[in-house]
Structure 1
Amino acid sequence: MEKRDVIETVSSNRDRLLSLSHTLWEMPEVALEETESSSLLVECLADAGFEVTTGIGGMPTAFEARYGDGDPTVGILGEYDALPGMSQTVSATREPIEEGGAGHGCGHNLFAVGSLGGALAIKEAIESGDVDGTIVYYGCPAEETLVGKVFMARAGAFDDADAALAWHPSDLTSPFMGETLAMNSLQYEFTGESAHAANSPASGRSAVDAVQLMNSGVEYMREHVPDDARIHYSIVDGGGAPNVVPATSTVWYFVRAPDRAEVDRLTDWVDDIADGAATMTRTAVDRQFITGCHPYVPNRRLSDVVEDNLETIGAVPFSDEDRAFAGDLKQTYDPETIESRTEDVPESHRETVRGSNLYAEPLPAMDAEEVHFGSTDVGDVSQITPVAQFWAAAWPVGAPSHTWQVVAANGDFANETAIYAAKVLAGAAYDLLSEPALLADVRTEFEREIGEGLFRSAVPDHVDPPVDADLQ
C-alpha cells in the first residue's frame, strides 16, 4: 500500500466519517461530560481492531486507541468537547436549537472525526505490512478548559510517542507554526461572616470586599509585569442580596506568560495579593489550582511534512452550494472582522481571500516565529514529543470561532473539511512511519529545542481533574 492508497482509504470511509461528524454535532457535550461522544469514537476504533484504554489521567472521557506493534509510534490527537451556550441550527440567522444549550462552536466534532479518519487509514497500511510501527489515536476531552491533555500528559499518555499530529478547523488552511503562552487556571474562594448589612454591619466580614480588593491589587500589579504576560479574571460568585454581608465569594484567574517559570512567578505574586486582601478584610482565602499548561512549541521539520501534505492534497473540495451558504453566513458579521482576521495573509493573496466566501486553497504558514497570546493544552504534548498542527478551512473567510455562524458551518459544509484533514494526517503519518531518516530529523530538532525527559507537569500531583467542577 503506497501513500496515495492510504489517502484513498480515507475516501472509502467517507460516508461513515461524515455520519459520525454529524452525530457528534447533533449531541454536543461540554468539557468532561463527553460521555456519548467518546463512547462513539471508542466503539468505532475498537471495531476497527484498535486496542482501547479508557479513563486516561483519571478522566472517564479520555482514552487512547492503539494499533500496530513496536516502533516508531505516531500519535494523532482528537478533540470532541463542545461549548456551553452555543446551540444553533444550520441556518444563516441566529436560531438556537435549544436556548442556552451547548454547540460545536470550535468544530471539535470535525476535529475528532478528521483525526479518526487519519488513524483508520494508517491502520490499513500497518495491517497490510507496508509500514511498520504503531498508530495511536488520543481521545482528548476538555480542550476548551485546558484540562484534557494536561492530565493525560501528567499520567504519561504521550511518553512513548515518537511524534504527534493535530489540526483544527478554521477559516483558512495553513500550517500552525506559532508558539503559545503557558498558563495557570486558579480560583480563589474567600470566606467571611454574614450579617445584616444595615442592622449589624460590624458583625460581618465581606468576602466580596476581599475579591474586589484582590482584583484592585492585580490591576496595580499589571504595570510591573512583562509586556507579553496576560492576567484575566472573572467573579464567579459575587454575593446575593445587598442587605446581607456576603460570607463567600469566588474569583477565577488565568495567568499567562511565554514560559512556565514566569507563569509560576506571577502566580506567586497573585497568591500574595489574595493573602493581602484576606488580611485587609479579615476573611480567609482558599486557593484551588485547576489546571496549568506549558507553551506550545511547534516542530519545524515536522511542520514541513504537514505543509508538504497540504500542498499534495490541495484544496478542500467545497461545492457551489457550500460557497453560497458560506456567503450567507459571511454577510452576518462585520466586514472589519474579516479585515482584521486576514491581516496576516500574504499580500499576494489577501484581496482574493477577503473576496471569497470560502477560501479552500492551502496557504503558507502565517505565524512562523510568532507568539500567540492564547494557550492550548497541546503545549504539554509538544514538551514531551515533537508536534505539528495545521489549520484547515471549514468556515467562511473571517469567521471567528466560538460564534453561532461557526456552529452552523460545522453542522453543514465544514464536514467536508474533516475528510480533507484526515487525508493530510494520513499522509503525514505515513511519511513518518515509512521514512526513518525523516523521523530522525524531527527527533533531532526536538532534542535540540526541548530536550528529552525534561517535562514536568504544571499541575501538582495532589490535584485531581476537575471532573465534577463547573468550569464552563
Structure 2
Amino acid sequence: MTVTETDLSPDGEFSPGMSPTDSAVVQSDRAELISAVTTIVSEHLPVFTDLSDAIWDHPQLRWEEFDAVERQIAIAEQHGFRVNRKLGGIPTAFSAEFGHDGPVVAVLGEYDALAGLSQASGSTSPTPDPENTTGNGHGCAHHLLGAGSLLAAVSVAKYLQARGLQGRVRYYGCPAEEAGSGKAYLVKAGAFEDVDAAVTWHPVPNTSTRQWLSLANINPVFHFRGVAAHAGGAPHMGRSALDAVELLNVGVNFLREHMLDTSRIHYAITDAGGESPNVVQSQASVYYLVRAKTVREMRELYERVLKVARGAALMTETELTVEIQGATAELLPNEVLERAIHSITEHVGPVPFDDADEAIAKQFLSQYPESEVAAVRQRYGIPRDDYATLHGTVPALTPSVPRHQETGSTDVGDVSWVTPTVQIFSASMAMATQAHSWQWVAQGKLPAAHKGMAHAAKVMASTVVELLTDATLLSRAKEEFREVTERMPFSSPIPDGVVAPPLRGSND
C-alpha cells in the first residue's frame, strides 16, 4: 500500500495526479487495515480500560508515577514487549519495544496527575474523592493518554505478528509532562535518536487532527536566603527572603505589560519561610513557569524575569539561587503525517457517543457560562446550530487556515523536533470542559472517556501500521521534517548541565 501527500487532498480524498482506480485501491487497502486494527483494539480494550481506571484511582505527581509505571510494564511484558526500565536514568521513564527489524515508530504515553484536584468520579459538583488520600487528580486525563497509547502499541504488535510483517513499534512511558518536561529530558539524553516517527494523542473535548501549536516554556525555582531576626525587637538585623519573593512577583507584574500577548508567566510560592510573623523569614522560594511561542522568545523573556529576580535579591540584600526544574520546546507539526492520520480518522469515524453520554455531559456543560461554551464552539469551527454537548464529528483538515495557537505547553514539542511527530485529539469529555479542573477529573472514568480512548487507539494503531508498511509515506514525512529542521535547527531548551530532578544528587 502506498499513499503519498500528493495523491491525497487535505481531506484524504482523490485528487489530480492519480487515477480513480488507484484511489479506490488505496481506500480499499486502508479500509481493510483499519478494520483489522479496530478488531484487535476492541478485543483488548477491557484490559486497558481497567488500566486507565486503576491509574485514575492512584494519581501520582510528576517524577513519582511508580504505580502507573509498574502496571504498564506488567501489561507490556505480558504481550511480548522488551522493556527498558529507567530510560535516560529516570526512575519513572521506560520504553517497551516489539519487533526486531525495519523502521522504528514510537507511541508516546503519559501518566502523571496534578496536585489538589481530587474529585469523585462522575460527581457534577466539586466533591473530593473520599478514597483518595493524596489530594491529587487526573486533571489532564493522562491516565487515558498512557493506557490508550499502550493499547495502540500492543494492537500494532498483534497486527504485525499475525501477518509476519517487519517493523518495530516502541512505546515510551513518559513521566512528568506537567511542568516537568519528562520527554525533553529523554530527548536530551538521546532516547529518540533511532526513532523514524512518533505518534501520540491527547484526550480533549473536541476531536481534531490538525495539531495545535503550543508554547515553549522553562520552569525555574527562585530560592532566596536572608537573615532571620526578631521582627519586633531587632527588625534592622533581618533580611527577608519573603520580601524578595514578593518584590519578584511585583516586578514580574510590571513586566507583563511589556511582553508579547502570546507569552505567559505563572508562579506558585512553594516556601513562604515559616508561619511566625514575628520572625523575619530567612528563606523563601517561588516556582515560576515562563512561556513563549518559540524557544528563542522564551529564553529572551526568561532572561528578563531573571533580571527581576536578581533585582529583588539586591533590594533585600538576600542571596539568590536558581534551580531549573525543566523546559520544553514548542510543537513542530508535520503536514504529511497530519494528512495521513486525518484520512485514517475519517475511516474510523467520530467517537461513538450515545444518548446516555450526552445526558451526563449536559450536566457538566451546565457548569460553564453560555458565553464560554459559545466561544469554544467558535474556536473549533463547530456550527452554531450544533448544540451537542459531546463532539461527535470529525472536522475537515484545512491546511489553508492558520493553526490554532494554544497558550499551554507540552513536552511532545521536544520529540517533534527530533523525529516527525503527529497526534490525534479525541473527544473524551463534554465540550468546553477546562483542563486542570475538577470537571475534567470527574469525567475521567465515564463511558465517554473510555470511548475517546478507544477511538484514539484505533487511529494511532492504524497510523503506526501504515508508517511501518508504507515506505513512501514515511519517507515523505521524514523529508518534510529534514527540510524544516535544516532551516531551523533544534536547540534543547534545557540548559546544559541540568538533569532531571530525580537524578539530582544521585550516584546512579
Of 265, 276, 289, 1:231 maps to 265
Cα distance in 1 between the residues matched to 2:245 and 2:437: 31
Cα distance in 2 between the residues matched to 1:268 and 1:333: 38
Of 89, 97, 106, 2:129 maps to 97
1:344 Cα deviation (Å)?
Answer: 1.6
User: Aligned ranges for residues 257-296 of structure 1 at < 5 Å?
Assistant: 257-296=292-331
Deviates more, 1:323-332 or 1:45-54: 323-332
User: Counterpart in 2 of 1:246?
Assistant: 281
Cα distance in 2 between the residues matched to 1:345 and 1:261: 28
1:180 alignment partner, SS class: coil
Of 54, 61, 75, 2:106 maps to 75
Q: Is 1:15–2:50 an aligned residue pair?
A: no
- Specify every segment of 5 or more residues in structure 1 that has no aligned partner in the other structure, as ranges: none
Query: Is the contact between residue 113 and residue 139 of structure 2 (CA under 8 Å) also seen in structure 1?
Result: yes
Deviates more, 1:102-111 or 1:363-372: 363-372
User: Counterpart in 1 of 2:152?
Assistant: 118
Cα distance in 2 between the residues matched to 1:450 and 1:468: 30
Of 49, 55, 69, 1:38 maps to 69
Cα distance in 1 between the residues matched to 2:148 and 2:214: 23
User: Aligned ranges for residues 411-430 of structure 1 at < 5 Å?
Assistant: 411-413=445-447, 414-430=449-465
TM-score by length of 1: 0.93
1:166 Cα deviation (Å)?
Answer: 1.0
Amino acid at match of 1:308: S
1:342 alignment partner, SS class: helix
1:33 Cα deviation (Å)?
Answer: 1.5
Cα distance in 2 between the residues matched to 1:360 and 1:293: 32
With over 3 angstroms needed to count, the CA separation of the structure-2 counterparts of 1:318 and 1:223, relative to structure 1, is closer
2:76 alignment partner, SS class: helix
1:68 Cα deviation (Å)?
Answer: 1.0
1:206 Cα deviation (Å)?
Answer: 1.1
User: Counterpart in 1 of 2:13?
Assistant: none
Query: Is the contact between residue 424 and residue 460 of structure 2 (CA under 8 Å) also seen in structure 1?
Result: no
User: Counterpart in 1 of 2:406?
Assistant: 372
How many residue pairs get aligned? The number is 466
Deviates more, 1:133-142 or 1:404-413: 404-413
Cα distance in 1 between the residues matched to 2:68 and 2:284: 34
Of 221, 226, 232, 1:192 maps to 226
1:461 Cα deviation (Å)?
Answer: 4.1
Q: Is 1:161–2:195 an aligned residue pair?
A: yes
Amino acid at match of 2:113: A
Cα distance in 1 between the residues matched to 2:160 and 2:496: 37
Cα distance in 2 between the residues matched to 1:468 and 1:67: 28
With over 3 angstroms needed to count, the CA separation of the structure-2 counterparts of 1:64 and 1:144, relative to structure 1, is same
Deviations 1:212-262 (A, max 9, x none): 222333333334433433223232222332221111111222222222222
Deviations 1:312-352 (A, max 9, x none): 111212232222222222223332331222222326x2330
User: Counterpart in 2 of 1:401?
Assistant: 435
1:179 Cα deviation (Å)?
Answer: 1.8
User: Counterpart in 1 of 2:184?
Assistant: 150
Query: Is the contact between residue 172 and residue 362 of structure 1 (CA under 8 Å) also seen in structure 2?
Result: no
Cα distance in 1 between the residues matched to 2:175 and 2:210: 21
Of 469, 473, 487, 1:434 maps to 469
Cα distance in 2 between the residues matched to 1:160 and 1:26: 35
2:150 alignment partner, SS class: helix
1:266 Cα deviation (Å)?
Answer: 2.3
Cα distance in 2 between the residues matched to 1:210 and 1:86: 30
Amino acid at match of 2:284: S
Cα distance in 2 between the residues matched to 1:282 and 1:20: 52
Amino acid at match of 1:126: L
Amino acid at match of 1:76: V
Of 354, 379, 390, 1:358 maps to 390
Q: Is 1:315–2:350 an aligned residue pair?
A: yes
Query: Is the contact between residue 34 and residue 458 of structure 2 (CA under 8 Å) also seen in structure 1?
Result: no
Cα distance in 2 between the residues matched to 1:323 and 1:376: 29
With over 3 angstroms needed to count, the CA separation of the structure-2 counterparts of 1:329 and 1:222, relative to structure 1, is closer
With over 3 angstroms needed to count, the CA separation of the structure-2 counterparts of 1:164 and 1:335, relative to structure 1, is same
Query: Is the contact between residue 315 and residue 360 of structure 1 (CA under 8 Å) also seen in structure 2?
Result: yes
Query: Is the contact between residue 146 and residue 376 of structure 1 (CA under 8 Å) also seen in structure 2?
Result: no
Cα distance in 2 between the residues matched to 1:193 and 1:152: 39
1:164 alignment partner, SS class: strand
Deviations 1:23-50 (A, max 9, x none): 2222222222111111111111111111
Of 305, 310, 335, 2:340 maps to 305
Query: Is the contact between residue 78 and residue 137 of structure 1 (CA under 8 Å) also seen in structure 2?
Result: yes
Of 169, 177, 183, 2:211 maps to 177
Q: Is 1:339–2:374 an aligned residue pair?
A: yes
With over 3 angstroms needed to count, the CA separation of the structure-2 counterparts of 1:200 and 1:250, relative to structure 1, is same
Cα distance in 2 between the residues matched to 1:265 and 1:346: 34
Query: Is the contact between residue 358 and residue 397 of structure 1 (CA under 8 Å) also seen in structure 2?
Result: yes
Of 149, 156, 161, 1:127 maps to 161
User: Counterpart in 2 of 1:6?
Assistant: 37
Cα distance in 2 between the residues matched to 1:93 and 1:225: 37
Cα distance in 2 between the residues matched to 1:204 and 1:281: 10
Structure 1 moving runs of 4+ over 4 Å: 365-368
Q: Is 1:24–2:59 an aligned residue pair?
A: no
Cα distance in 1 between the residues matched to 2:206 and 2:259: 34
Q: Is 1:221–2:285 an aligned residue pair?
A: no
Percentage of identical aligned residues: 36
Deviations 1:169-204 (A, max 9, x none): 111111142221111110111111111112111111
Query: Is the contact between residue 299 and residue 442 of structure 1 (CA under 8 Å) also seen in structure 2?
Result: yes
Cα distance in 1 between the residues matched to 2:136 and 2:63: 13
TM-score by length of 2: 0.87
2:320 alignment partner, SS class: strand
Deviates more, 1:230-239 or 1:104-113: 230-239
- Specify every segment of 5 or more residues in structure 2 that has no aligned partner in the other structure, as ranges: 1-31
Deviates more, 1:62-71 or 1:214-223: 214-223
Amino acid at match of 2:67: E
With over 3 angstroms needed to count, the CA separation of the structure-2 counterparts of 1:233 and 1:92, relative to structure 1, is closer
With over 3 angstroms needed to count, the CA separation of the structure-2 counterparts of 1:368 and 1:77, relative to structure 1, is farther
Cα distance in 1 between the residues matched to 2:488 and 2:188: 13
1:392 Cα deviation (Å)?
Answer: 0.6
Amino acid at match of 1:70: D
Query: Is the contact between residue 334 and residue 481 of structure 2 (CA under 8 Å) also seen in structure 1?
Result: yes
Amino acid at match of 1:10: V
Query: Is the contact between residue 89 and residue 503 of structure 2 (CA under 8 Å) also seen in structure 1?
Result: no
With over 3 angstroms needed to count, the CA separation of the structure-2 counterparts of 1:199 and 1:81, relative to structure 1, is same
Query: Is the contact between residue 34 and residue 347 of structure 2 (CA under 8 Å) also seen in structure 1?
Result: no
Deviates more, 1:440-449 or 1:273-282: 273-282
1:51 Cα deviation (Å)?
Answer: 0.7
1:454 Cα deviation (Å)?
Answer: 4.4
